[in-house]
Structure 1
């Protein structure tokens, strides 16, 4: 008996007939409606009575919402691997991670040759498939900066640009029967996909044995390779043969394939919609129930917890990998896993955590917190991974990635209250709210996660009109340090609710927040470039215009110090330049133009573009997968006004070239209408947030202290990597800090959540 412990998946294998091209599409929709996981189509490009399988897969992905789509299996000799790789990645991105790649070496050579393919021997076709896998994986690996080169005998790629990266770790399944192909499955694929009708008695066991031995030789655990199987059959009142009988017989025989032959994915070959419905609604749930019961009795370990020697060697000390909760093990990512590079980093900071846990609900978040606090390693919590400070990843620790908690739902139309999962991104939120004419101020980039920004502050493009994001949070669900799931609002756990709005990362893991949106149609978005030769003068003039402007206007300024070096005539190669990004929160273009003209007068105008568009066009959806890089040092400070002394100090910092990126964000406005003690974010009189980014923390600290420290009043913790204890009062001025330490003592006395600008609990 062989049971690898894979979660059971069920799907269909549909004929892509073109007699009525909508029939296979409808069968795919029946598959989804029946609750099945997967819909596949055979691929015979030389068959004129069939639809092109890849075109059909794309169409079906657009007409469904949940099921994974795959070829069963795609004909490699007629589909160049580099182009196929881009096609699969594109479909995966467009479908939200619902593509899988079933691939075959080719078998019907006469029609393949007739279509322009090259005839190959069985050995040559296996070698060509081996090379193709290197090409496909290489194209998907967009994190590798070098151009892709695969100089194979049958497939050559010489300097191809990599990408796009799929939305998720696309599994590759190979259709295989002979030993050499089975060994290739073990070495490079994620799954084995044969058809039972082509196999003799004992072939499943023999195939598993070959794969298992080859996997161990390659340093992989046999359970890393999913076993899929195409089956066919018919319902009948009584037994007439294998899978020829009543539902109860199907359940028993399919369960046997899972428990005795290690099959984790059962794919039914049929074009009968009634059989598909019965398979999904009656047979699959019963098989899952029976297999779960038998596995519990046998103590079968889930496949996700089994790692080969190659992966085990990369595990980090201080983590009990065998103790990972069962609820989290199937989606956990370790350094030896192929998905690791996609989850280890954040937007600007490289990471090398020992374990990434990916919970799907609050209960699993609680499991993650309880497990993490029992380990002797750092803990990071990630919502979107965009945080400049980089606290959502670490080296050798545990990261709890909330990306799957990405729901966006309206709770109350009248008050415009929406519930947002902590792992949702603000670009997606803006897209969802735009049709209603609603918006939430949310930073300046759509890839930012909801949880991080909506618990730290939220200085955004709508900030002067709307206020900080935290000012409109009305409730939250929180997993506490001891693993409880609680609700926080002005009526429930009000002290925790107070602390979450400004210091949420220090008090628990927020799983969702309810936020009241503002009514907002189109906005005017302006991108302006000004000559900043007179840095201080420009800053003063720009700051004065912003403070004097109606609250609808919020402007951010990015200062580029210019490049080093001189031209032959002794002039600078490139002088300082200021880039303004400005939003006027409304569609009154006359009023917007009047204010933009005042901004343009702050310095010599080099270029200007302005648009009337929805707010969702300003904060467009961004990538949730990050590759790190840069590992910047950052300092920040808040000021009430950009007066002469402050502007000259910032000019001095810019011209020192100790920072390669400098920014000023307008804040204030509606955010300053809130009382200082109303939230843990207490900076309610300042109008500007200044920040500088550099490569070296000590040099930036020295430059900042010499120039900006005498002029700033507080800091914005998401934009600061100097976490010395004496900086704590800059982030949380008294009496806020004293109150926050008391809240910390009540909710996290053991300081479990200490990665986010550590706040010591009160004694």
Structure 2
């Protein structure tokens, strides 16, 4: 490869294999520290859209493939491929504009969930960001966007009105529901297999709910199946403004004694109401006060902010861990899902691991299909997030994770493209889409990137 030519074409830093900073350039901003042995030939840390255009055109002319990295948070690291050019967007960090009157904003892709809300909430505005505070808009929105308040706001990608992107031909274009519609359709859900590089998102904003209140309940681990069954039964009658989740986590300090017989594991249920008045929020959460089993402890309808929600959610996904993830969709009862793996949960090798089920509330679940690549909808979403800290624990945690995911596989109706191991389980990829949408996505890649300038879901591993 003509590295001098690539450096001449781009204003941003260019790193090649053998450079002193090359390993830091390809590994430094990866969220998952279980890092695979794959590496590009070069990294371009683009400073603007012109750099992205130049890098794509250089790759195309040189017969090289391109992969893009946004925030580096994808759990199975698809931005690391064997060979080609990695285009790093980590400099694209601007919140370009907020139009509060017309409920619109324009952002570059490397802005975190927390920072988007931090900018919008003081203005009485919000966006359906993801739950993990550090995750950047890039991969989150490309994957579809599993959002806060999902059954009211929908997915994050549903509130994207347009994108600016660089195509496989090296052209900078805008795509929306009325122009370059193929790209707009695919960008909202294609994830790491998207055949373009998004440099700008045009967002539809929402009014910040005036009364966000949360309830939390802790139960014994052995009660989790019964609690899960009950939650699945009442979920259709709850307000769509309630976000309901069941966790298996390590007990907080005050409950560790009561969880000691299960190696510290217990069941936690959280519910957040995104309402307009405290009375409406309390009414929406009231049914959760009547569980068939008394909780070990609880708190009811406590006012919360997005900052507090991010603090709580972020505590479950600490930075610097080694991780394996498989998040799936299911229409089975959450009680069935927990019962299937209950015997495996106390033996988790790492106390950092989390088992999470989000139970969608309201009568219209699963949701109707939207005109976008993002496909799968179900009554329940979740799975194991297996996290640990030391390389010597890789085998034990990987084996435990495999046992959990294998046991749950018969219950799955699909996968979330941004939170499943598409590298080691490539058969999961088409199952992240309906058959019709998968067929269309493949056809659009053939149409718009016939020379395969961009790595697809399967290449380079």
TM-score (norm 1): 0.51
Closer/same/farther in 2, CA of residues 338 and 461 from structure 1, 3 Å limit = same
Pairing 1:747-762 to 2, within 5 Å after superposition: 747-754=448-455, 757-758=457-458
Task: Give the equivalent residue in structure 2 for 1:584.
Answer: 273
Closer/same/farther in 2, CA of residues 419 and 711 from structure 1, 3 Å limit = same
Task: Give the equivalent residue in structure 2 for 1:687.
Answer: 379
Greater Rg by CA = 1
Structure 2 unaligned runs (5+)? 387-393
Is 1:551 paired with 2:240? Answer: yes
Offset at residue 427 of structure 1 (A): 1.4
Q: Which moved more, 1:597-606 or 1:484-493?
A: 597-606
Task: Give the equivalent residue in structure 2 for 1:737.
Answer: 438
What do residues 30-58 of structure 1 show as CA deviations (whole Å, max 9, x unaligned)? xxxxxxxxxxxxxxxxxxxxxxxxxxxxx
Offset at residue 573 of structure 1 (A): 5.8
Closer/same/farther in 2, CA of residues 701 and 440 from structure 1, 3 Å limit = same
Closer/same/farther in 2, CA of residues 350 and 321 from structure 1, 3 Å limit = farther
Offset at residue 442 of structure 1 (A): 1.1
Task: Give the equivalent residue in structure 1 for 2:208.
Answer: 520
Closer/same/farther in 2, CA of residues 515 and 571 from structure 1, 3 Å limit = closer
Q: Residue 402 of structure 1: which of 79, 83, 89 is its match?
A: 89
Is 1:721 paired with 2:421? Answer: yes
Q: Which moved more, 1:644-653 or 1:495-504?
A: 644-653
Offset at residue 673 of structure 1 (A): 8.1
Distance, in Å, in 1 between the alignment partners of 2:313 and 2:65 is: 28
Task: Give the equivalent residue in structure 2 for 1:657.
Answer: 348
Closer/same/farther in 2, CA of residues 621 and 489 from structure 1, 3 Å limit = farther
Distance, in Å, in 2 between the alignment partners of 1:670 and 1:332 is: 52
Distance, in Å, in 2 between the alignment partners of 1:416 and 1:616 is: 21
What do residues 589-635 of structure 1 show as CA deviations (whole Å, max 9, x unaligned)? 23333444543554523354864244354336999xx9974442222
Distance, in Å, in 2 between the alignment partners of 1:638 and 1:652 is: 21
Instruction: Give secondary structure in 2 for the equivalent of 1:710.
Output: helix
Task: Give the equivalent residue in structure 2 for 1:638.
Answer: 329
Is 1:479 paired with 2:133? Answer: no
Offset at residue 495 of structure 1 (A): 1.8
Is 1:426 paired with 2:426? Answer: no
Task: Give the equivalent residue in structure 2 for 1:710.
Answer: 410
What do residues 293-312 of structure 1 show as CA deviations (whole Å, max 9, x unaligned)? xxxxxxxxxxxxxxxxxxxx
Closer/same/farther in 2, CA of residues 717 and 349 from structure 1, 3 Å limit = farther
Task: Give the equivalent residue in structure 2 for 1:322.
Answer: 4
Instruction: Give secondary structure in 2 for the equivalent of 1:708.
Output: helix
Instruction: Identify, as 1 or 2, the structure richer in strand.
Output: 2
Query: 2:57, 2:169 within 8 Å by CA — same for their partners in 1?
Result: yes
Closer/same/farther in 2, CA of residues 613 and 701 from structure 1, 3 Å limit = closer
Closer/same/farther in 2, CA of residues 333 and 425 from structure 1, 3 Å limit = farther
Offset at residue 444 of structure 1 (A): 0.8
Task: Give the equivalent residue in structure 2 for 1:676.
Answer: 369
Offset at residue 536 of structure 1 (A): 1.2
Q: Which moved more, 1:400-409 or 1:712-721?
A: 400-409
Task: Give the equivalent residue in structure 2 for 1:362.
Answer: 49
Closer/same/farther in 2, CA of residues 628 and 620 from structure 1, 3 Å limit = closer
Kindly report the root-mean-square deviation, in angstroms, between the aligned alpha carbons of the 2 structures.
3.9
Distance, in Å, in 2 between the alignment partners of 1:385 and 1:375 is: 26
Is 1:470 paired with 2:157? Answer: yes
Instruction: Give secondary structure in 1 for the equivalent of 2:418.
Output: helix
Task: Give the equivalent residue in structure 2 for 1:593.
Answer: 282
Offset at residue 516 of structure 1 (A): 0.8
Query: 1:345, 1:627 within 8 Å by CA — same for their partners in 2?
Result: no
Query: 1:561, 1:657 within 8 Å by CA — same for their partners in 2?
Result: no
Distance, in Å, in 1 between the alignment partners of 2:28 and 2:458 is: 22
Distance, in Å, in 2 between the alignment partners of 1:550 and 1:734 is: 31
Offset at residue 371 of structure 1 (A): 3.6
Aligned residues: 434
Instruction: Give secondary structure in 1 for the equivalent of 2:106.
Output: strand
Distance, in Å, in 2 between the alignment partners of 1:612 and 1:702 is: 38
What do residues 423-469 of structure 1 show as CA deviations (whole Å, max 9, x unaligned)? 12221111111122111111112211111111111112221221101
Pairing 1:605-616 to 2, within 5 Å after superposition: 605-608=296-299, 611-616=302-307
TM-score (norm 2): 0.80
Instruction: Give secondary structure in 1 for the equivalent of 2:201.
Output: strand
What do residues 79-131 of structure 1 show as CA deviations (whole Å, max 9, x unaligned)? xxxxxxxxxxxxxxxxxxxxxxxxxxxxxxxxxxxxxxxxxxxxxxxxxxxxx
Query: 2:48, 2:92 within 8 Å by CA — same for their partners in 1?
Result: yes
Closer/same/farther in 2, CA of residues 557 and 643 from structure 1, 3 Å limit = closer
Structure 1 unaligned runs (5+)? 1-318
Query: 2:128, 2:148 within 8 Å by CA — same for their partners in 1?
Result: yes
Task: Give the equivalent residue in structure 2 for 1:451.
Answer: 138
Instruction: Give secondary structure in 2 for the equivalent of 1:632.
Output: strand
Higher relative contact order (CA 8 A, sep 6+): 2
Distance, in Å, in 2 between the alignment partners of 1:377 and 1:505 is: 18
Closer/same/farther in 2, CA of residues 628 and 592 from structure 1, 3 Å limit = closer
Query: 2:235, 2:359 within 8 Å by CA — same for their partners in 1?
Result: yes
Distance, in Å, in 2 between the alignment partners of 1:379 and 1:398 is: 5
Task: Give the equivalent residue in structure 2 for 1:511.
Answer: 199
Is 1:530 paired with 2:222? Answer: no
What do residues 159-190 of structure 1 show as CA deviations (whole Å, max 9, x unaligned)? xxxxxxxxxxxxxxxxxxxxxxxxxxxxxxxx
Query: 2:93, 2:109 within 8 Å by CA — same for their partners in 1?
Result: yes
Instruction: Give secondary structure in 2 for the equivalent of 1:717.
Output: coil
